[in-house]
């Protein structure tokens, strides 16, 4: 097979690297981009570069943000006594969309999975313990408040379950209430893909662990 345009082909290759995109879809996307006016393509390219140049991790909750600390950690309107622990930044967005949670977050960056070579030391677990322990370190501008509750909003997978158990064992000695999202979430689905009503119910009906 001979490609008429190596350039188009390399764009297809790049799209095909994205999760959930097969070669067929990648071709359609490349064809779409070809038809776009140059200015719009430039906007797209800029947005791509910008996420790598401007976006940093919040030094308190490790969510992605343009400013450190992130608007949630910096807000005095949020309840800093309740920390909701999630796996990924997208999970924060999913919970924020419910408008049902006024606490703060902690983004682990994944779940414990020996098969993927991910241990507790690869996640922000030590930093979480530091937060609930009241020893957040010098970097943070989070007001020093005593944590009252840790909500484990990790995915309902075996890796999420195990991570939740691991964290709950570390947090409970501090006498802090540890809760888990009620398992109203359809089994096997990620938090990110759970609809808002279900997530709201799961938050309201959280159970102690």
Partner 1 sequence: MILKSIRLRNFRAHENSEIQFDDRANLLVGPNGAGKTNILEAIYMMCLSRSFLTSSDRYVLRKDAPHFEIEGVFESEKRVPIKVRVAFVPGEGKKIFVGGAPLDRFSELVGRFPVVIFSPEDQQLTSDGPEVRRRFLDNIISQTSSVYLDHLLRYGKALKQRNELLQISRKRRTAPDPMLPESWTEELIRHGSHLILARHKFVTDFSNHLESAYQKIGTVVERPSLSYDPFSDTSLQQLDLIKSDQSGADIVWSIDRIQDLFRIEIARKAASERDRGITLVGPHRDDLEMSLGLLPVRRFASQGQHRTFGMSMKLAQYEYLKERNSEKPILLLDDVFDNLDPMRIGAFLDILGSNAIGQSITTAARKEIVHDHLNGMSCHTIEVCSGGHVQPSLLEIALEL
Tell which one of 139, 158, 205, 207 touches partner 1 (CB under 8 A): 158
Q: What is the DSSP letter of 95?
A: H
Query: Are the CB atoms for 148 and 82 separated by under 8 Å?
Result: yes
Q: Are 164 and 178 in contact (CB under 8 A)?
A: no
**Number of residues engaging partner 1 in binding (CB under 8 A):** 20
Among 16, 110, 136, 166, binds partner 1 (CB under 8 A): 166
Nearer Cβ to Zn ion (90/157): 90
For the chain, state the CA radius of gyration: 20
Give whichever of 32 and 193 is closer to partner 1, judged by the CB atom.
Answer: 193
Q: Residue 199: which of partner 1, Zn ion, none does it interact with, CB under 5 to 8 A by kind?
A: none
Token code pair at residue 113: 């999975």
Pattern 29-58, Zn ion, x by CB under 5 A = -----------------------------x
Region of 43-51, 54-62, 65-73, 110-118 interacting with partner 1 (CB under 8 A): 110-118
Among 94, 170, 185, 203, binds partner 1 (CB under 8 A): 170
For residue 109, what are the contacts with CB-CB under 8 A and spacing of at least 6? Answer: 62, 87, 88, 122, 123, 124
Give yes or no for residue 161 binding partner 1 (CB under 8 A).
yes
Beta strands in 16-135 (DSSP E): 56-57, 64-65, 79-86, 103-107
**What b/e string do you get for 166-201 counting C-beta neighbours within 10 Å, with b at 16 or more?**
ebbebbeeeebebbbbeebbeeeebbbebeeeebbb
Single out the residue of 11, 26, 30, 61 in contact with Zn ion (rule: CB under 5 A): 61
Provide the binding-site residues for partner 1, judged by CB under 8 A: 22, 112-115, 119-120, 157-159, 161-163, 165-166, 169-170, 187-189
């Amino acid at each position: 097979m001979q490609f008429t345009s190596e350039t188009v082909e390399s764009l297809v290759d790049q799209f095909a690297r994205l999760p959930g995109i097969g070669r067929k879809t990648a071709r359609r996307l490349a064809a779409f981009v070809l038809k776009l006016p140059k200015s719009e393509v430039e906007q797209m390219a800029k947005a791509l570069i910008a996420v790598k140049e401007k976006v940093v991790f919040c030094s308190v909750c490790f969510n992605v943000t343009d400013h450190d600390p992130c608007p949630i950690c910096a807000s005095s309107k949020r309840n800093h006594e309740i920390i909701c622990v999630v796996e990924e930044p997208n999970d924060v967005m999913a919970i924020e969309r419910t408008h049902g949670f006024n606490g703060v977050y902690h983004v682990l960056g994944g779940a414990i999975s020996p098969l993927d070579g991910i241990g507790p030391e690869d996640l922000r677990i030590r930093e979480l313990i530091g937060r609930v322990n009241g020893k957040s370190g010098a970097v943070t501008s989070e007001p020093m408040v005593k944590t009252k509750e840790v909500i484990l909003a990790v995915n309902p997978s075996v890796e999420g379950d195990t991570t939740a158990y691991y964290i709950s064992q570390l947090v409970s000695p501090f006498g802090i209430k540890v809760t888990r999202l009620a398992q109203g979430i359809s089994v096997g689905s990620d938090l990110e893909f759970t609809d808002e009503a279900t997530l709201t119910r799961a938050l309201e009906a959280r159970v102690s662990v």
